[in-house]
Amino acid sequence: MKNFKKYIWLVLVLTLGACSTIKSTNLVGDYALKLNPDEWNGTWVIGEETYQVNVINEDFGIMESVSIKDGKTQKYKMFATQGGDDKYINLVNADKRFSFVKFKREKNSATAWMPSKEVFKKAIESHKIAGEIDEGGNILITASGKAFSEFIKTNPELMMFELESPSIFKRVAE
């Protein structure tokens, strides 16, 4: 259950605001990733969290995730995209901005990597990518989706995602 929590990512961390966040005004990636509902629809778990995921538009890579926590139902809309060889999940937040993770899908699991706050902070401060950092350390990337994807593709040495600490989500039911 914890695996899908981090894959349906930042969902809890970002929506609960437990720490500083990284968001974007645009989707990360160059184009929508076509999804196979047979591979995505179902119940996913990470730790103690459970999510019901459904592809709502396979051609445009749009999914919906529903969870119940503390008796409250929460619904999230997500967009799967691709930029170069990398694939991303972009979560629509209540403020209409996007939280994102890099991901890899295999059989009945999905591995997700969170963006590195330090790397994106330095990139914004050095004007390598358009963005803002507020007094709480929250990062908002304001570059276009294409410019954002291009920045990621052309700077692989920056290690923009926390590859050493992946989150692994397991699909337990279709």
Q: Is residue 164 assigned to a domain?
A: no
Identify any residues that bridge with 104 across adjacent strands, giving them in sequence order.
Answer: 111
Residues in the chain: 174
Q: Is residue 58 assigned to a domain?
A: yes
Which pTM value belongs to this model? Answer: 0.84
Give the Cβ contact number of residue 60 at 10 Å.
15
DSSP tag of 115: B
Please give the pLDDT value at position 173. 84
Phi first, then psi: give them for residue 161, nearest 5 degrees: -125, 145
- Domain carrying residue 154: 2-159+169-173
**pLDDT for 85-95, tens place per residue?**
899 999 999 99
121 CB-near residues (< 8 Å, 6+ apart): 133, 137, 139
Please give the pLDDT value at position 19. 56
Q: Average per-residue pLDDT in the chain? A: 86
Question: Domain count of the chain?
Answer: 1
Q: Is residue 48 assigned to a domain?
A: yes
